[in-house]
């Protein structure tokens, strides 16, 4: 196989990133004009006004809409759980995924309350991502194909896409990605997920994050290499869905540390590639707040949720609906 053939899968992804359509600045201007016409003192709607204008720019129209929100949950397993980095293992991922599939998970209840659809992507749960301290998580071809597979979520034609991740070891893999993308210390990026209250587990996470980055040292200058070597199917799928949404003018609501690490890969290649993304909520972890700061995203909600399964993003749907209702209806006689 030639070098060109080996690079072909990521070349396609790079091309999609390089050709992301810009947000609609004309729609943004018209939405800002509409905000100036609302019969309220300037600034009184706070972030609701900002979110409505952002939605208009993403969707390309003065009057944003939110009638078909969809929560996409990407479920995968990571072999690094065998190193004591999580309270859960691959069997628990199966259980957590089945709970969502059966409609009994937290994200199911919140999505239902928000009037959102929900779709679960099972990503080879019986075949955990290899231990990233000894191997690459994915080949380039598998990483690119997983990204492409996740783009199918848009076949549901949502007008807003919420993204969550379910997977034991996901926050450890995401921590390794964050360390490779942004620097810092393994211990800092380990402060995410269920291990944060267990000193031994937190120490194991820091050790694994550091060992993984050291093992792949010299091959992490390209953010897509960071994704395939240190991430896994869940992060690759989340990145693919984010990228596809951009090309279809669909706003994205991120939830949890792992989905933000996926967005960070695109952001490191082209900062404008995640302009259509907003953070639905923030987990009570310093590492999550730090990655949001680097992405330039202020969470809509801060309720102490630590799930990362899409629940926080689904909760934010009602805030977006309120922003749109005020934007489209305030000051109109038939509102």
Q: What is the pLDDT of residues 201-237, one digit of tens each?
A: 899 999 999 999 999 999 999 999 999 999 999 999 9
**Proportion of the chain in helix, strand, coil states, percent, rounded to 5:** 60, 10, 35
**Helix count and strand count (H, E) for the chain:** 14, 5
User: What confidence category does residue 266 fall into, taking pLDDT thresholds of 50, 70 and 90?
Assistant: very high
Answer yes or no: pTM beyond 0.85.
Answer: yes
The domains found in the chain, sorted by start residue, are: 67-318 (3.40.50.10210)
State how far the alpha carbon of 299 is from the alpha carbons of 207, 246, 283, 302, in Å.
29, 19, 10, 7
Beta strand 69-75 with 117-122 is parallel
The pLDDT value recorded for residue 5 is 46
Average pLDDT over residues 172-198: 89
Kindly report the average pLDDT of the chain as a whole number.
Answer: 92
Whether 148 has a pLDDT exceeding 90, the answer reads: yes
Label residue 194 by pLDDT band (50, 70, 90): low
Decide if pLDDT at 1 tops 50.
no
**The pLDDT value given to residue 284:** 86
pLDDT at position 30 over 70: yes
Do 293 and 95 touch, CB atoms closer than 8 A? Answer: no
* Residue 63, Cβ density class (10 Å: 0-12 exposed, 13-18 middle, ≥19 buried): middle
Q: What is the mean pLDDT of residues 315-320?
A: 98
Position 146 pLDDT exceeds 60 = yes
pLDDT at 317: 98
The answer to whether 309 and 256 are in contact (CB under 8 A) is: yes
Q: What is the largest CA-CA distance in the chain?
A: 67
For residue 4, is pLDDT > 90?
Answer: no
């Amino acid at each position: 196989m030639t070098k060109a053939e080996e690079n072909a899968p990521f070349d396609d992804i790079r091309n999609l990133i390089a050709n992301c359509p810009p947000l609609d600045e004309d729609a943004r201007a018209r939405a800002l004009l509409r905000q100036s016409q609302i019969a309220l003192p300037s600034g009184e709607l706070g972030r609701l006004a900002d979110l409505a204008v952002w939605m208009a720019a993403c969707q390309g129209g003065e009057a944003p809409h939110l009638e078909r929100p969809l929560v996409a949950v990407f479920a995968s397993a990571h072999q690094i759980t065998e190193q004591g980095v999580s309270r859960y293992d691959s069997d628990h991922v199966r259980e957590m995924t089945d709970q969502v599939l059966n409609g009994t998970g937290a994200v199911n209840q919140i999505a239902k309350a928000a009037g959102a659809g929900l779709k679960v992507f099972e990503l080879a749960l019986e075949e955990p991502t290899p231990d990233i301290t000894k191997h690459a998580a994915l080949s380039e071809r598998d990483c690119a194909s997983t990204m492409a597979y996740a783009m199918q979520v848009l076949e549901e034609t949502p007008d807003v896409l919420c993204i969550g991740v379910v997977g034991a070891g996901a926050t450890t893999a995401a921590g390794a990605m964050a360390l490779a993308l942004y620097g810092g210390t393994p211990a800092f990026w380990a402060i995410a997920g269920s291990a944060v209250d267990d000193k031994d587990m937190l120490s194991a996470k820091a050790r694994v994050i550091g060992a993984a980055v050291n093992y792949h040292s010299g091959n992490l200058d390209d953010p897509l290499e960071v994704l395939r070597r240190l991430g896994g199917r869940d992060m690759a799928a989340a990145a693919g869905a984010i990228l596809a949404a951009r090309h279809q003018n669909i706003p994205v609501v991120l939830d949890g540390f792992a989905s933000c690490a996926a967005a960070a890969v695109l952001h490191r290649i082209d900062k404008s590639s995640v302009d259509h993304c907003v953070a639905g909520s923030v987990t009570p972890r310093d590492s999550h707040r730090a990655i949001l700061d680097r992405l330039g995203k202020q969470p809509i909600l801060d309720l102490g949720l630590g799930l990362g399964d899409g629940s926080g993003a689904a909760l934010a749907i009602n805030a977006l609906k309120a922003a749109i209702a005020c934007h489209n209806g305030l000051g109109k006689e038939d509102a």
